[in-house]
Amino acid sequence: MNRAIVAIFKFFEQNKRLLVAMFAAIVVLLAWSVARVDFVEDISSFLPTNDNNKRVNEAYQKVGGANKIVVVISHKADTLDEMLLTDVATYFAQTLQEADTVGRIKDIFYEIDSEHVNKTTDFILQNLPIYLTDSDYRRIDSLITHNSIANQLEADKNILLSPMGAFMRNIVINDPMMLSSNTLKKLEVFRQNDHYNTDNGFVFNDCGECIVAITSAHRSSETAENKLLALEIGKAIDRTRTEFGNKVELIPFGAALISISNAERIKADSMMAVGISGVVILVLLLWFFRSPKQLILIVLSIGFGALFSLGVIVMFKSTLSIIAIGIASIIFGIAINYPLHFLTHFKHVGSRLTTIKELINPLLIGNITTVGAFLSLLFISSDAMRDLGLFSSLLLIGTIIFVLIFLPHILRDNKSAKHQHSSTKEPKGARLLLNKITNFSPENNKILVTIFVSATFLLLFFSTGAKFDANIHNINYMNAEQRSIMEYITSTSQKGNTIYIVAEGNTPQEALSRYEEKILPFLSNKNRISDKSDSLNISGIGAFFPTEKTQTERIERWNNFWKNRKELLMSQIKVQATRQGFVTGTFDGFDHILNKEYHPQPFAYFYDNLEGLAENYINIESDKTMIFTQITGNIEEAKATEIFNSDATYAFDNRSFMQKLVMALSDDFNRVLYICGIIVAIFLFFSFGRIELATITFLPLAVSWIWILGLMNIFDIQFNIVNIILATFIFGQGDDYTIFITEGLIYEYTFGRKMLARFKTSILLSATILFVAIGTLIFAQHPAMKSLAELTIVGMTAVVICAYTIPPLIYKWLVYRRNGKQRIMPITLWNSAKTIFSFLVFIVSAILMTIIGFFLLTIGGKNRRNKDIFHRILCKGFRFLATMMPQVKHYVHNHYDETFDKPAIIVANHQSHLDLLYILMLSPKIVVLTNSWVWHNPFYGAIIRYADFVPVANGIEANIDRLKKLTDEGYSILIFPEGSRSADCSIGRFRKGAFYLAQHLKLDIVPVIIHGIGHILPKDEFLLRKGRVDIVVEERINVYDIDEKTAYGTLESTNQELQLLSLSKDVRKIFIDKYEEISQKVETPDYFADKVLKNYIYKGRDIARTAHKELRGHNNFAQIVAQLPDKGTILITNCRQGTLPLMIALVKSRLQVTATDPNIDLLDIARNCGSVPPNLHYVDTPPASANYTHTIDFSTL
């Protein structure tokens, strides 16, 4: 990919007209595509849309009252003038009706229509047979007796003479026996609230305020249309106030208006934030770049990205949530990183090509991982969230395309840039502060690292307390009037839950059948719903929409009941009517009802006559009909769900439904964060090619999340449905930051040039812009907008701190030693795992050996037999440990068949802590002179003491008797004459203690030469490496039989000090010669292949792959190395990354190697390897006067 982008740059540099034409064509094509996008504004699209949630959400949106706007009319004076309020209600309603010329209002209810009431009651009376139940017939049977008829007609007469007579006249003359009383009483089922009453046909609440209810033709979520309706309502309110001299107050309230208030508040807060942040960011960028051109280029980059996103998205879908696009504007904060990093870097280097080469990796890796993170939003069951993920991903792709393909050709190389930035002129003021911040390395400050680690563990403890606020009302904005009305509604609403039960079908008749079958039987018997049935209030269509089947059954029941009763009843009514003074024919209507022929009627027949009452409970669309029933009171949602949930009916709690949807969305986000994390981790692994580099880059994201959760808990900041969207954003932003930090560290380690400070500058600038852009919302009045700012402040602070601290801390630990120099071989995860495994095996073995020693020597007694058994077990244990060492093979070369049966002084070169293991496995008859810290070691100190190892902190002379006793028992004594481990595996100066002991105890010396242990576990390292160990047991040396030609043989015996010194030199020479012989045999290209390769593993995937390819392709250069002399000088030209010269220099340690390459980048890679030995020299240009015995051109191999 890197080469392809560089090639594209070079191609278009030579064909700029083609580039301009292609750019123009792309822009035109994208613009044409954008014109085809259909933007939709539906806030409900953010809610989860799985099958169950989708149908419940659809029902919730369409339930009666959701699209109502209530206007509360009150008198400003303390006195209550109901007549004035009714006049105001009438004027306001008529004014609004006249203004609604486009049909935004479905209905206005402000006065009870007596004609409509009469029409409803007449409809019930004319269809009385289909509404009567068994209990009604039992009551009727008791009403048609002689006395009951007389009493009822007398009561009818009194009713007609009362003030209620005009209202009841139609009922009395059509139903003098009041057969319909129970049915008419059941009309209360259509009433939704008990806290309203009527006066003169107008509706008042308990406070005496007049109510006007406006039903919008649009759902509450369709804020665009409802906003226009709200404007009309506002104008009507103003006209009404003016008309009545501002004596009254009209306050509108409703879900639609709250949505509009939220939108307006969000708009105002956004404008405030944009105004403040825009000025601050503009000043910041102008100060940094000192030119408006860079600002224009940043805007062009993001603008192209947005155009690209909208244009391409049409290929996937035709509609797009405008609200999602608005939220996605936050993603511009990530997109701005790409041009910002590019322009900042270009400002320093002045070369477009260099900028591209040095930024391709971090830009592309950051882009791929962040795009992957946002694409994970496609797994959320929310249409708007999917739109957000798709738009954000394409926005970032479009921006990176512009930055890498088009932006470089708008710029011009500035050859003086490097000189300007490398000048000795000191920055001042803010720039000096910026330089200090970006050059500061917190990972080098132990106090700060300790504070950071401690804070992380503390915040980890608090992180479990972070909460998610599922109550969507807490992030709603309401003005003071709306909040006051909401508090009143809440205080006067019936206590308990509000459960909605829905029956749905493809047609009204199908929905009605399901309602009657699944729901109505329970409504008729409240005890089946709740144990506290008296507290329940049921609203709905009741039994007023019977199915044709039910109608048929009830008509038949009616006919059968009156077959032999109606003539007698009518005759008795006529007699009693005459006695009460009723005019003849007064009750002919009732006679008509009794003798009328009834037939089952379709659903439309009932809906046309009862629509005014039932419209809140029935929603009819072309493909679906929903019938709602509202139950308020002490009823548990779980029980309602158990009773009513089926394929065609379901129940949901009015209060908990939105919370459940929000929690479902939260669960989706939790799942997405895991998916997002996995996607990012996988991309990082394939991008860097090493699990260690991927972990270094990913770990800050995980730790920053711990910080975010912990700080949110401490400062009582809660997640909500709005600010949780920022989780993905912060994850993506942190991903970009840590990638740039890691790439900066890799660059400095690879080339030995400063780069990290530049990347830190870009990160700091980017973070500051985001902090200002979103952080200014902390002054917002809308709770959701303010929550965005709170999470941004917490999140960006955590992300920047973790990005600045964790990658440098871990990466430098992997590749650098404490003194700042490169490790000869960097730490790897595999080496760490091998070390941990080996250490655990050692610890388990040590515990077992301690237990064995306790039982064998402490309890069994420390006699010679038990000691021999313990030593044999110990020896076998060491052999087991040597075998268990992963990727380390060991070879024992005992050409003289030494058995150690005869006591001797064993002298060995000292390279590592593992030296003891490999020597003690040779024989059970070996004891060791140890330091006091080994004697008291908590892991294996007891074993040392059980094995009779001798501490010599007070000198060998003080322990002569003890050592003499051990040798008398047949034990040989192991001594490391160098005294300490050799850092470079060379044979150090021998101290004379071992030889003094051999002379004093008259023992032979057995040289044991160790090779390779210092490579697998060097002195200054603590992790195991891959390698081989050779243990060479040499022939015994009798100190008195050494060749007389040696220095020791020619000395006089009286000068013991000189004798010992000479002996030590002679033995050391034996070690040196033998070690050189082993090295010549063992240290082949295959031996050093892993060491050479490890120099490149943390320098980027491409460099590591190239090194591996060169080694494998040339068989570790074995054939080339074999043809070279052991001594002399050699020149390697076109050495590339340095694998060949490094291999030659390591294998041929006495051969002086000079290497060069015309590509300065490759040469810097080669010279910045930690394993470069002293005999390897990299030069820019080899001296003309130099005389080389061999010359190799690597490019020709």
Tell me if 569 is assigned to some domain. no
Low-confidence ranges of the chain (pLDDT < 70): 1, 40-55, 57, 60-66, 78-79, 189-195, 220-221, 321-330, 416-428, 488-496, 531-535, 654-665, 1040-1056
Residue 322 is which amino acid?
Answer: I
What is the CATH classification number for the domain harbouring 1188?
3.40.50.150
Is the distance from CB of 364 to CB of 356 less than 8 angstroms? no
179-209 b/e (C-beta count within 10 Å ≥ 16 → b): bbeebbebbebbeeeeeeeeeeebbbbeeeb
What tokens does 1098 get? 């943390």
What tokens does 1165 get? 């890679």
Do 960 and 1108 share a domain, yes or no? no
pLDDT of amino acid 1049:
47
Tell me if 505 is assigned to some domain. no
Q: Which residue has the tokens 């949780």?
A: 724
Q: What is the domain count for the chain?
A: 3
Tell me if 337 is assigned to some domain. yes
Tell me if 157 is assigned to some domain. no
pLDDT of amino acid 673:
76
Tell me the three state secondary structure of residue 17.
helix
Residue 72 is which amino acid?
Answer: V
> For residue 339, what are the CA distances in angstroms to 306, 402, 690, 729, 972?
14, 9, 28, 18, 72
What is the CATH classification number for the domain harbouring 1075?
3.40.1130
Residue 906, beta-bridge partner list: 974, 1006
What tokens does 77 get? 């004076």
d(C-alpha 853, C-alpha 851), whole Å: 5
What tokens does 205 get? 């609440």
> For residue 1021, what are the CA distances in angstroms to 409, 605, 813, 912, 1091?
49, 92, 12, 10, 14
Residues 6+ apart with CB under 8 A from 238: none
Gyration radius from the chain CA atoms: 46
Do 431 and 360 share a domain, yes or no? yes
What tokens does 742 get? 């890691």
Q: What is the CB-side half-sphere exposure of residue 98 using CA atoms within 13 A? A: 9
Residues 6+ apart with CB under 8 A from 161: none
Tens digits of per-residue pLDDT, 152-208? 898 888 888 887 777 788 888 998 999 988 888 888 766 656 567 777 778 888 778
Do 1075 and 1108 share a domain, yes or no? no
Do 927 and 1021 share a domain, yes or no? yes
Do 846 and 988 share a domain, yes or no? yes
Beta strands 1004-1011; 904-908: pairing state: parallel
Do 910 and 1052 share a domain, yes or no? yes
Do 863 and 801 share a domain, yes or no? no
Is the distance from CB of 96 to CB of 232 less than 8 angstroms? yes
pLDDT of amino acid 446:
92
Do 1075 and 1125 share a domain, yes or no? no
Tell me if 1058 is assigned to some domain. yes
Last residue in a domain, options 1049, 1082, 1115:
1082
- Neighbour tally for 906: CB within 10 Å: 26
Last residue in a domain, options 815, 845, 867:
815
Tell me if 122 is assigned to some domain. no
Domain that holds residue 1166: 1102-1196
pLDDT of amino acid 548:
92
Nearest to 1182 by CA among 1152, 1162, 1161, 1154: 1154
pLDDT of amino acid 1044:
45
Do 915 and 811 share a domain, yes or no? no
Tens digits of per-residue pLDDT, 342-396? 998 898 888 899 899 888 888 888 888 888 878 877 877 777 778 888 888 899 9
**Backbone torsion region of residue 688, taken as left when φ is above 0, otherwise alpha when ψ lies between -120 and 50, otherwise beta:** alpha
d(C-alpha 310, C-alpha 15), whole Å: 28
Beta strands 38-40; 319-321: pairing state: parallel
Do 332 and 449 share a domain, yes or no? yes
pLDDT of amino acid 131:
92
Tell me if 858 is assigned to some domain. yes
Last residue in a domain, options 1050, 1082, 1114:
1082
Do 792 and 838 share a domain, yes or no? no
pLDDT of amino acid 278:
77
Do 1067 and 1151 share a domain, yes or no? no
Tell me if 646 is assigned to some domain. no
Is the distance from CB of 749 to CB of 1168 less than 8 angstroms? yes
